[in-house]
Amino acid sequence: MRRTWTILVVVMALVVVGCGGSDDEASDGGLAGNVAEAIVEQIAEEAGDDVDIEIDGDEVTVSFDDESGSGEATFGGGELPDGFPFPVPDEYEVGSSMVFDQGSGDMFSVTLSAPDTDFDEIAAMYEEFLKDEGFEVNRNLMEGDAGKTLFLDGTRSDATAFISMSVQEVGNDDAGNLFHETLISLSWTPGE
């Protein structure tokens, strides 16, 4: 399992690197994209039969099946995995997703970005969801000049859930109005 997780981390880093490059390079994947793709393909060859890596444009999917369990991780976009337990509004964009069958149930991890929406409304939605699902919730909000970051962790007898959220500036219009998005990370781990 340690080897599989190492492969996932390396692939995720390479996807980030592969997204770089100028607009001129973007049409053919760019130098960074081509190098990243070559490295990912080399990792797939060395990983053996228990790891399969597929590259489709900016999206990389890693499927694995070893003695620890089986799963799939998608980086650079994609859809929510089947059975994902958290609510996700349609306008949220999936950045990466992972599902891992560890025997006692599926473990999920998904990153999302929400458009220029209200951070406090999103936080309230997820905190209410956890409480409605019977989780004991711990909340830690940090605010400063750089913005807000929120951590919610929930525990119940059969599962743990972790949510982190932060706001980032993504651009401005001609009038100088800033646009923001909320970055969200959702993790669900079943109990033993």
Please say if the pLDDT value at position 49 is more than 60: no
User: How remote is the C-alpha of 108 from its chain's centroid?
Assistant: 10
pLDDT in tens, 2-43: 444 444 544 544 444 444 443 444 444 444 455 555 555 565
Going by C-beta distance under 8 Å and a sequence separation of 6 or more, which residues neighbour residue 76?
Answer: 15, 19, 57, 58, 59, 60, 95, 96
Mean pLDDT for 77-104 is: 83
Residue 4's closest CA among 82, 80, 101, 94? 101
- Residue 135's identity, in one-letter code, is F
* Cβ atoms 191, 104 nearer than 8 A: yes
- For CATH 3.40.1000, list the domain ranges present in the chain: 77-192
Burial (Cβ within 10 Å: 0-12, 13-18, ≥19) of residue 83: exposed
CATH topology of domain 77-192: Protein Transport Mog1p; Chain A (3.40.1000)
Q: What is the per-residue pLDDT across 92-150, written as a single tens digit (0 to 9) for each?
A: 988 888 887 766 678 888 888 887 678 889 999 999 999 999 999 999 998 877 678 99
In whole angstroms, give the CA distance from residue 184 to residue 73: 17
Judge contact between 58 and 76, C-beta under 8 A.
yes
Element (H, E) at 143: strand 136-144
Q: Which residues touch 170 (CB under 8 Å, ≥6 apart)?
A: 179, 180, 181
What is the arithmetic mean of pLDDT over 153-169? 90
* Average pLDDT of every residue of the chain: 74
